[in-house]
């Protein structure tokens, strides 16, 4: 086929939208931006942009995330492609959604210096433009499936954390209360935690031991998977 014949084909825009999850104070949060242009000016949106000719999708997602948040080397995963004909009233646009995981405590100051962006509790987030709510639903479903089959936490928790923080993270993702003893026993069986000789004294006089992930074992479990059902 001669390349010039492609000129006869319809041209469409290809967007990349990033669903950015964070965890802070026992709550799963989402990072949103307030649009400063039409259509839907003034309303809340996912962070996004358009694919450039010299990029693949992964590079576009990394560039967009960095441009709007100042962050690099963040865990990202492609979720789904949205191609409904009238999904964007401005122009025919296909969007590929990614989700990212961020430790808010480590990165928040840098993020909030960038744009009119804000963290919202996932359960109380405002209605989003276009089909962005549907994108968030797809991303949450993917995150929950991953939590049941692979370790979650390295990207969302601080370097040192308590077992309570880890349990609260899983409860927030799964939207379900978990039995403390069963959770501890199950997670210990994965052998991916390092117990430290340090305590977090902020929650009680007795304090709670701090843990770290064993990164090598954690990465192996990400590749091999496990069964989290308890």
Q: What are phi and psi of 78, to 5 degrees?
A: -70, 135
Regarding whether 126 and 26 lie in a shared domain, the answer is yes
CA dist 6 to 9, 51, 185, 222, Å? 5, 19, 59, 42
Strand order of the sheet with strand 161-162?
Answer: 161-162, 208-213, 193-200
pLDDT on residue 116: 79
Same domain for 143 and 168, yes or no, is no
Answer whether 73's CB lies under 8 Å from 60's CB. Answer: no
pLDDT in tens, 71-110: 888 889 999 999 999 999 999 999 999 999 998 887 766 6
φ/ψ of residue 145, rounded to 5: -65, -40
The pLDDT of residue 191: 95
Residues 35 and 139 in one domain: yes
pLDDT tens figures, 149-176:
999 999 999 999 999 999 999 999 999 9
- 223: pLDDT strictly greater than 90: yes
Whether residue 229 lies inside any domain: the answer is no
Look up residue 114 and give its DSSP letter.
Answer: T
Give the per-residue pLDDT at 2. Answer: 56
Please tell me whether residues 77 and 136 are part of one structural domain: yes
* Residue 198: pLDDT over 80: yes
Task: Provide long-range contacts, Cβ within 8 A and 24+ apart, for 205-213.
Answer: 208/162, 208/163, 208/164, 209/162, 209/163, 210/160, 210/161, 210/162, 211/160, 211/161, 211/162, 211/163, 211/166, 212/159, 212/160, 212/161, 213/151, 213/153, 213/154
Domain count within the chain? 2
Q: Does the pLDDT at position 6 exceed 90?
A: no
Residue 192 is predicted with a pLDDT of 97
Q: What residues make up the domain containing 213?
A: 161-224
Confidence (pLDDT) at 101:
94
The CATH number linked to 169 is 1.10.10.10
Secondary structure class of 17 (helix, strand, coil): strand
Phi, psi values for residue 113, rounded to 5°: -80, -10
């Amino acid at each position: 086929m001669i390349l010039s014949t492609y000129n006869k084909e319809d041209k469409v825009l290809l967007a990349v939208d990033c669903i950015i999850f964070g965890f802070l104070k026992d709550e799963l949060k989402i990072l949103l931006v307030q649009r400063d242009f039409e259509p839907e000016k003034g309303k809340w949106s996912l962070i996004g942009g358009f694919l450039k000719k010299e990029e693949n999708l992964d590079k576009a997602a990394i560039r967009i995330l960095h441009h709007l948040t100042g962050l690099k080397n963040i865990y990202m995963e492609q979720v789904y492609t949205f191609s409904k004909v009238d999904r964007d009233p401005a122009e025919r646009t296909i969007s590929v959604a990614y989700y990212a995981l961020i430790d808010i405590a480590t990165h928040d100051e840098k993020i909030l210096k960038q744009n009119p962006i804000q963290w919202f509790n996932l359960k109380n987030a405002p209605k989003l433009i276009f089909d962005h709510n549907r994108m968030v639903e797809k991303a949450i479903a993917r995150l929950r499936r991953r939590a049941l089959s692979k370790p979650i936490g390295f990207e969302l928790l601080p370097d040192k954390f308590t077992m309570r923080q880890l349990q609260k993270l899983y409860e927030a993702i799964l939207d379900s209360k978990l039995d403390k003893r069963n959770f501890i026993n199950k997670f210990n069986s994965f052998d991916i935690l390092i117990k430290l000789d340090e305590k977090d004294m902020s929650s009680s006089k007795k304090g709670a031991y701090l843990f770290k992930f064993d990164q090598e074992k954690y990465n192996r479990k990400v590749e091999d998977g496990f069964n989290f059902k308890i």
